[in-house]
Amino acid sequence: MSGNDSDHHVTLSDGPLGIADVVAVARGGATVSLADGARAAMERSRAAVQAAIAEGRPVYGVSTGFGALADVAISPEDRTTLQVNLLRSHAAGVGQPLPDDVVRAALLLRAQALARGYSGVRPIVVERLVDLLNARIHPVVPEQGSVGASGDLAPLAHLALPLIGEGQVRWRDELLPAETALAQAGIAPITLEAKEALALINGTQIITALMALAVADTEQLLRAAEIAAAMSFEALGGDPAALAAPVHQVRPHPGQVATAARMRRLLQRDGTLPRPRRGAVQDAYTLRCIPQVLGPIRNALEHARQVVEIEINAVTDNPLCFPDDTGVVSGGNFHGHPVALPADYLKVAVASLGTFTERRIASLVDPRSSRLPAFLVPAPGINSGFMIAQYAAASLASENKTLAHPASVDSIPTSADIEDFNSMGTTAARHLARVVANTQTIVAIEVLCAAQALDLTEREPWGIGTQAAYRAVRAHIPFLERDGPPLHQLIETARDLIRSGTLQEAVDAALVASAGRDTAQQIEEGGVG
């Protein structure tokens, strides 16, 4: 399913959502609806809350204050006011607004969690979240202010304010008061009842929204990084012996084996791989160890995907409302540590990808290693070619190293030490998004330099995959004869090819077509039954 598929529809029910659903709603034209079964489940859990209220049982956030104020009793007549006060007081986020795609993902994920029917909210609450999504009314949510437990309190409070007609939103390219946008869209604000404001803000949906989009982006990025590495491998005359299957079968980490196979597929034509350059006994690590470096990044990505797809469908509220004898139970599902650690893990992995890629860029522009004109331009000196493109890659790789510091190793207690261990998962996920964006640009620079180097070798790329990649680049970016347009324009064009998937799709199409031809030839020769 495609995130750009306007025909895609997501239904909130007891069935699971996947990362592709999140991308379809966050970045595409997918619409959202609430299943009747989900409404029934919410009504049952709401009944559990009402029963606790009727019996006079103390329930956190219903008949009490919040955090360190949990021992303060709230009278029945003040419980509606408590909901409004909670959103207003907790909407204390700071910094720049989160991008609309992250906000849309968070709206979807909060609606999904509440629709599971364990949070004690009425269906109208989720219906209003769905209304915001379908009307494309996006709450303004500052990116900073969450410690990742007790959930993403501050940003989710900003996300929820428009439901009561407060806060600011972006709608039709305008920044508007929520009350104005809702009125123009024909959506009525709601009055939140006991437990509902707490249910809206107690969860990990900002962390998970950032993570879901980062996983999707990293999948595209890793595909592009393998293509760029294969292009450089050819341009620099790498020895394909290091990619041979037996080498990796004796160290069978799944990512390593898969990356080696992918590299062979990209580089081969008619069952053969390109010849290595003469004179080198062994290549540098950034050519010889591509499977051993990109493979673990594949493994980190797969781990992150598995965690995120659990969290997308998790109930991260507190207290939880079970419509059976269990009743209303306080727990800790709001804690962000289960997603904070994978966010840091993936962030470190992607940062290492950027560093690894930058080193090949340095090899491409250096005539001592490439045996090509300095900085990949026919007349170096009067022209500087791709000299400063490597500086840009080095700058981004260095920035990534700072951003890659694990946020989850830090914890600052909050709420008078009642919340005494916090995950900082939102910081980890925000920094992950920046590392992914930086590394997209680094890989784009490698694609540019590798295509230029392939031209300067005056040989047609050998591999089916590398040839398709070269042609996809040259369809949008010409060979650089001399210093001409500002390089940042070429870098942005190459980055767009990666972010849109255009480069990856062109290569995949060529590989599929080649596989079809190979199979047809085997059938003709009697090699396939």
Hey, which residues does 97 pair with through a beta bridge?
142
The whole-chain average pLDDT of the chain stands at 94
- What letter does residue 383 receive in the DSSP assignment? B
Give a yes or no: residue 527 inside a domain: no
φ/ψ region of 22 (left if φ > 0, alpha if ψ in -120 to 50, else beta) reads alpha
Range of the domain at 20: 9-203
- 529, pLDDT greater than 60: no
Same domain membership, residue 240 and residue 193: no
Of 409, 434, 356, residue with least CA distance to 102: 434
Same domain membership, residue 278 and residue 357: yes
* pLDDT score of 63: 82
- The C-alpha atoms of residue 215 and residue 213 are separated, in whole angstroms, by 5
Strand ranges for 53-107 from DSSP E:
94-97
Q: Beta strand 9-12 with 31-34: parallel, antiparallel or unpaired?
A: parallel
Same domain membership, residue 497 and residue 392: yes
* pLDDT score of 405: 97
Torsion of CA 465, 21, 87, 142, to 10 degrees: 20
- 279, pLDDT greater than 90: no
Note the pLDDT tens digit of each residue in 198-212. Answer: 999 999 999 999 999
* pLDDT score of 278: 73
* pLDDT score of 518: 66
Q: Tokens 């400063």 sit at which residue?
A: 388
Note the pLDDT tens digit of each residue in 361-397. Answer: 999 999 999 999 999 999 999 999 999 999 999 999 9
Give a yes or no: residue 49 inside a domain: yes
Q: What is the CATH number of the domain that holds 112?
A: 1.10.275.10
Percentage with pLDDT > 70 across the chain: 97
Note the pLDDT tens digit of each residue in 448-458. Answer: 999 999 999 98
Q: Tokens 């969450």 sit at which residue?
A: 146
Tokens of 168: 């600011």
Same domain membership, residue 221 and residue 119: no
Residue 217: CB atoms within 10 A of its CB come to 20
Give a yes or no: residue 51 inside a domain: yes
**What band does 519 get if pLDDT is binned at 50, 70 and 90?**
low
- 522, pLDDT greater than 70: no
* pLDDT score of 183: 98
- 67, pLDDT greater than 50: yes
Q: φ, ψ for residue 273 (rounded to 5)? A: -105, 160
**What band does 4 get if pLDDT is binned at 50, 70 and 90?**
very low
What residue type is 54 in one-letter code? A
**What band does 5 get if pLDDT is binned at 50, 70 and 90?**
low
* pLDDT score of 6: 61
- The C-alpha atoms of residue 333 and residue 400 are separated, in whole angstroms, by 31
Q: 60, 285, 345, 391: which one is catalytic?
A: 60
In this structure, of 50-54, 288-292, 312-316, the range with the lowest mean pLDDT score is: 50-54
Note the pLDDT tens digit of each residue in 147-199. Answer: 998 889 999 999 999 999 999 999 999 999 999 999 999 999 999 999 999 99
- Provide the number of structural domains found in the chain: 2
Q: Which residues contact 250 (CB under 8 A, 6 or more apart)?
A: none
- 238, pLDDT greater than 50: yes
What pTM, to 2 d.p., does this model score? 0.94
Q: What is the CATH number of the domain that holds 271?
A: 1.20.200.10
- The C-alpha atoms of residue 50 and residue 321 are separated, in whole angstroms, by 10
Give a yes or no: residue 2 inside a domain: no
Give a yes or no: residue 192 inside a domain: yes
Q: φ, ψ for residue 139 (rounded to 5)? A: -55, 145
Give a yes or no: residue 423 inside a domain: no
Same domain membership, residue 116 and residue 228: no
- 406, pLDDT greater than 90: yes
Same domain membership, residue 501 and residue 371: yes
60 is catalytic: yes
Give a yes or no: residue 421 inside a domain: no
Question: Are the C-beta atoms of 166 and 127 separated by less than 8 Å?
Answer: no
